[in-house]
A and B are shown apart, each in its own frame.
Chain A
Amino acid sequence: MYLLKLAYRNFFRNTRRSIISGISVAIAITVIIFAQSYMRGVIENISENIVRLISGHIRITTKEYERRERMIPLSEALDLTPELYDELNHEEILMVSPRIKFGVLLGEEELNIPALGYAIDPDKETHISGLDKRIVEGSYLDASSNGAIIGNELAKRLDLGVGDTLTIITRTAYDSPTGINLLVKGIFSIGIGGMDRSVFYIPFNVGQKLLDLEGRATELVIIVKDPNKAINIAREIRLRGDYSIVPFQYNPILKYINTFSFVYSIFYAIILIVACSTIANTMIMVVFERTKEIGMMKAMGLNNLSVVGLLTLEAGIIGFVGSSLGTVIGGILSYWLKYQGVDMSMMSSSTSADMPFGPIIYFSPTPMIIITGFLFGLLATIIVAFLPITRITKLEPAKALKTI
């Protein structure tokens, strides 16, 4: 206790120096907390977009469809049998919604604008994608009419507005030419460039008829009660036939991002090490500076352990101050951006439909992030300072006293 008091007072012997040393740690911790909150926010954002717009919590397709997914093979659609729906009657499953995804070329004169169409169940989809809330002009789809909703950028490219006609000419699942004129009922803006630029939605039964896929769908999108259980539920589903059942956590994009965020942890470690080395450096200088003092203390009977303890505590206090400062700043920034959100739609305007990023990223700091940030800052300082301190304080008192 006495040591602690002493250490505390020693902090103020050269306040400026102590503070400057602490600043490196403060900066490092601020950055680490900020970056982690950002990364988490990004992952949450992408996960949410994937669930809402691409796969739901669990996505079911035939195995063959998944293998050839790049080519959007309509012929590999699955059959919507009552047995299939029965097999999906799991207590954790809230909703099963069928979709047909199809690629078309659109255009007034020439068919040269590639677009992605989704035939969806308009009612069910309101619970999945919340598309009805993204309508910026006109109105949402309804199952009974031959309407379509298109992305705002796509609308611009096709020069179409609400009330105009969208002409789709494509091939059915059996390669027959097919087409339809649809009324543009509404225009949406999701905020994800790729989707606003090339996606449109039509009612499910209209899509089935158009593509000769009556009674079928290219994928089933499933919403469960507890997203965290999605992986287990996916494993529990038993379907007769060759199906691919993929929980959203296994979505390739998500896995890619997760891997990268892991790599960033390495960077955090490095930053922390650099920051701590400055404190260690300071302590070393301090020790040499106070060699006489240390010699005197030892002569007065203070043993090595106490000296080391004192110096370590001093380092600890600097670390504590730095870490606290960093934690507070990092925490405040992160929580502020959690409620404020960052509008990334500038960057998002060039994303492809494959990378559902944006439009607003909400930082996602957790108490865990804050606490570990603080603790790591503190611990790292003490550990990094410890070694040199022990080395250096092994001087003999007499020798120490002799130094000037």
Chain B
Amino acid sequence: MITMIKKMKITVISKFLLALSSIISLSLAQTAEEIIERVDNNVVVKTTRYRAKMLISLGGKIREKEFIGYTRGKEYSYMEFVSPARDKGTRFLKIGDEMWMYIHAVEKSTKIAGHMLRQSMMGSDFSYDDVAENEKLQDLYEIEFIGIDSVEEKECYKLELTAKVPEVNYFFKKMWVDKKTYIPVKAELYAKSGKLMKEINITDFQKIGKRNYPTKIIMINKLRKDTFTELILEEIKLDIEIPSKVFTKAYLERK
């Protein structure tokens, strides 16, 4: 008799646990999207203005460049290089998924189109279309929550992103989002074959208002020794007034 009751209890408990876990996993499944949303909330700002230092290492040879940038949402972006002297005055304008380049000595802008988009930007490991990628991750990828993982002693949500349309740069990505700050501290970019191509680490951030904004981003080429690009953002101003004219070709070509 007692055994029967025990058995019933066990069945009830297990059923309850089962129900509970499905509710939890349901909420967790949503969490993947949610996590991305919260990451976006950090990074996607109405407007930003910043000064950046770019360190490019190609097979061990290191070069340093400095530029000023303005962004509005994810649609508009403007960059102007200020150093070294030979790059001074080189500007880029991105509107949507189109990009233009302006070289000071030429006094004319050129649209970066077609196969040019695949060329490397300023000699770094980023190609123009890497930078110009404009669509939401959720639209391009199926995002799956894998679990909790720790990166540099920080607890992170581990996500896996698999392309759901063919027109993506990287077929498969892994992202580690810091639980506390919702900053994607590490990302791994994979080729179709499953080979790891690039690793992106965000090693520094700054608290501005309610946001955690990344300030040091390192992109490592995993296929080539001593090849990486480091981006350090300084003098960051968020949500400031930026006149619309900044994001026009006229401004790009101004003297």
Contact = CB atoms under 8 A, between A and B. Distances in A.
Contact present between A and B (CB < 8 A)? yes
Interface of B: 63, 86-87, 90, 101, 103, 105-108, 110, 116, 119-120, 122-123
Contact of A212 (B86, B105, B116): B86
Given A169-B106, A176-B86, 6 more contacts: A111-B110, A168-B106, A176-B122, A177-B101, A179-B103, A180-B105
A174 B123 contact: yes
Nearest to A173: B123
A175 B105 CA distance: 17
A175 B61 CA distance: 13
A176 B90 contact: yes
Q: Which 10 A-B pairs have CB atoms at the shortest separation, nearest pair first?
A: A175-B123, A179-B106, A179-B103, A180-B105, A174-B123, A176-B122, A176-B123, A181-B106, A169-B110, A179-B105
Interface residues of A, number: 16
B42 to A, nearest CB: 31
13 contacts: A167-B108, A174-B63, A176-B86, A176-B90, A176-B123, A177-B90, A177-B101, A177-B103, A177-B122, A178-B86, A178-B103, A179-B103, A181-B106
B229 to A, nearest CB: 12
A181 B122 CA distance: 20
A172 interface: yes
A93 to B, nearest CB: 33
Nearest to B122: A176
B120 to A, nearest CB: 6
Contacts of B119: 171
A175 B116 CA distance: 13
A169 B122 CA distance: 14
Contacts of A111: 110, 116
The interface residues of chain B, by DSSP majority, are classed as: mixed
B92 to A, nearest CB: 9
Nearest to A214: B86
A169 B103 contact: yes
B253 to A, nearest CB: 13
B174 to A, nearest CB: 29
A114 to B, nearest CB: 13
Nearest to B104: A179
A140 to B, nearest CB: 23
Contacts of B108: 167, 181
A178 B81 CA distance: 12
A181 B90 contact: no
B120 A181 contact: no
A180 B106 contact: yes
Interface in A203-247: 209, 212
Nearest to A212: B86
Contacts of A172: 86
A298 to B, nearest CB: 89
B86 A181 contact: no
Interface in A157-186: 167-169, 171-172, 174-181
A340 B86 CA distance: 53
Contacts of B90: 176-177
A179 B86 CA distance: 11
B106 A167 contact: yes
A57 B10 CA distance: 96
Contacts of A168: 106
Most chain-A CB neighbours within 10 Å: which of B63, B87, B106? B106
B158 to A, nearest CB: 35
A180 B123 CA distance: 19
Contacts of B103: 169, 177-179
A179 B119 CA distance: 16
A176 B108 CA distance: 17
Nearest to A175: B123
A72 to B, nearest CB: 16
Nearest to B63: A174
A153 B116 CA distance: 26
B120 A175 contact: yes
Nearest to A210: B105
Contacts of A171: 119
A238 to B, nearest CB: 29
A357 B106 CA distance: 35
A176 B87 contact: yes
A256 to B, nearest CB: 33
A299 to B, nearest CB: 94
Nearest to B111: A110
Contacts of B63: 174
Nearest to B110: A169
A178 B90 CA distance: 8
A168 B110 CA distance: 11
B117 to A, nearest CB: 13
A181 B107 CA distance: 8
Most chain-A CB neighbours within 10 Å: which of B87, B103, B107, B122? B103
Contacts of B107: 181
A169 B107 CA distance: 11
A167 B107 CA distance: 9
